[in-house]
Amino acid sequence: MSREFSGKISDRLSRLSIELPSWGFADTGTRFGKYLQDAAALTLEDKLDDAAEVHRLTGACPSVAVHVLWDLPEGGATALAAAARARGLRIGSINPNVFQDQCYRHGSVANEDAAVRRRAVDHMLDSVAVARAVGSRTLALWFADGTSYPGQGSFVRRKRWFTEALAEVHAALDRDMRMLVEYKPFEPAFYHTDIADWGMAAAFARHAGPKAKVLVDTGHHLPGQNIEHIVAFLADEGMLGGFHFNDRHYADDDLTTGSIDPYRVFRIFVAIAEAERGAGRDLDIEYMVDQSHNEKPKIEAMIQTVTTVQELFAKALLVDLDRLDAARAANDIVAAEECLKSAFATDVRGALAAWRESRGLPRDPLAAHRASGYVARAAAARLPRKKASGGSYA
């Protein structure tokens, strides 16, 4: 591998934006406890500061996903957009929250209670208004709806409620907006989830209308599932709307992307590279991170994820797709597989460092972050506030 990427690879990488999640910078926890970090964000402003730090170092993260109930400041959407703008960022996907309030104990749009279903739809309609006000085109929908016991709910009735709700929200979208439908096989429900897999998400999206697409959260698959096949299939159907990046070993583990299985992420990106070659243009999909770290320092984990995504994306762009097709046509399985393996084995870190440098960015964003003193400054500013706000900080 030469020390420089070809113009084509370098240009495609420059167009790869990765959205950061506001919830990735705040203190979060497991089901068993919340573990606090001195430098973790407390306020929306803190979260945006942290996201801006990742963007400053990587140049690849101009937008931040927000969760409506967690991130709307007193000044509402206008203040939200202004706070992002002041830091050189913009607000990206708007994530309604129809899972946190007590009324959603037994579901949101699939709740047996019509008043709760209404409230959930109204919240999503309000979220469309927030998207409009902040200039975001993306409503990202995830539902915790499901049941934990056989017999607890009617699959079909719930399916119809979902269909109606998504169609109503779709009808409220502006012409240039889109809604992404995320799936998850289980959790928090343990018997069935109303949008359990990509096929259900695609069916719901199709019923809702042309602005609805599928959101693939890489952590939301059963063990052994072939995610790159799903990605290729959805892309070919014009139904691939975006990603939530993370990695997993057992379930929805929220680990940094590529930490467990970088070859899988690479294969997903090869599927995208093939789809883009077929389309003759970049796919219109959102690349978003969905991770919330309790053990790793949060900003470091985000930088690691962004640089790993760039590395694996670059490796996927190195696959010689013409050679791959020729090998396939000749039923030369070994040569086909070697096309992937040799690209994956290429060390692109030097070329990426040179590419960053050419764009005025640090060659090694993680090292630059560690040397910057940002975390110590953030901790010094935030710790007193954290202590003053009480809680169990010790």
- Which residues form the interface with ligand PSV (CB under 6 A)? 23, 95, 142, 182, 184, 217, 244, 252, 290
Specify the residue, 121 or 318, whose C-beta has the smaller distance to ligand PSV: 121
Binding residue (CB under 5 A) for Mn ion from 27, 53, 217, 247:
217
Residue 158: count other Cβ atoms within 10 Å of its Cβ.
20
Q: How far is Cα 384 from Cα 325, in angstroms, rounded to an integer? A: 60
**Using the rule CB under 5 A, is 290 a contact of Mn ion?**
yes
Residues paired with 174 in a beta bridge: none
Residue 222 CB, nearest approach to ligand PSV (Å): 15
Residue 1: which of 252, 268, 353, 384 has the closest Cα?
A: 353
Chain centre distance of CA 240 = 13
Classify strands 18-21 and 178-182 as parallel, antiparallel or unpaired: unpaired
According to DSSP, the residues that pair with 33 across neighbouring strands are 30
49, interface contact from Mn ion, ligand PSV, none, CB < 5-8 Å by kind: none
Binding partner of 162, given ligand PSV, Mn ion, none, CB within 5-8 angstroms per partner class: none
Exactly one of 123, 170, 213, 244 binds Mn ion (CB under 5 A); that residue is 244
Minimum CB distance to Mn ion, residue 290 (Å): 4
Least distance to ligand PSV, CB of residue 212, Å: 16
Shorter beta-carbon distance to Mn ion: residue 247 or 290: 290
Distance (Å, whole) CA 1 – CA 347: 7
In b/e form, how buried is each residue of 195-228, taking b as 16+ CB within 10 angstroms? bbbbebbbbbbebbeebbbbbbbbbbbeeeeebb
Question: In angstroms, rounded to a whole number, what is the distance separating the alpha carbons of residues 113 and 364?
Answer: 53
Measured distance CA(189)–CA(149) in Å, rounded: 9
**How near is the Cβ of 252 to ligand PSV at its closest, in Å?**
5
| 252 is a site residue for Mn ion (CB under 5 A) | no
Task: Using CB positions, name the residue nearest to ligand PSV.
Answer: 142
Beta carbon of residue 65, minimum distance to Mn ion (angstroms, whole number): 10
Residue 178 near which of ligand PSV, Mn ion, none (CB within 5-8 Å, type-dependent) = none
Minimal distance, residue 237 CB to Mn ion, in Å: 21
User: Residues in the site for Mn ion, rule: CB under 5 A?
Assistant: 217, 244, 290
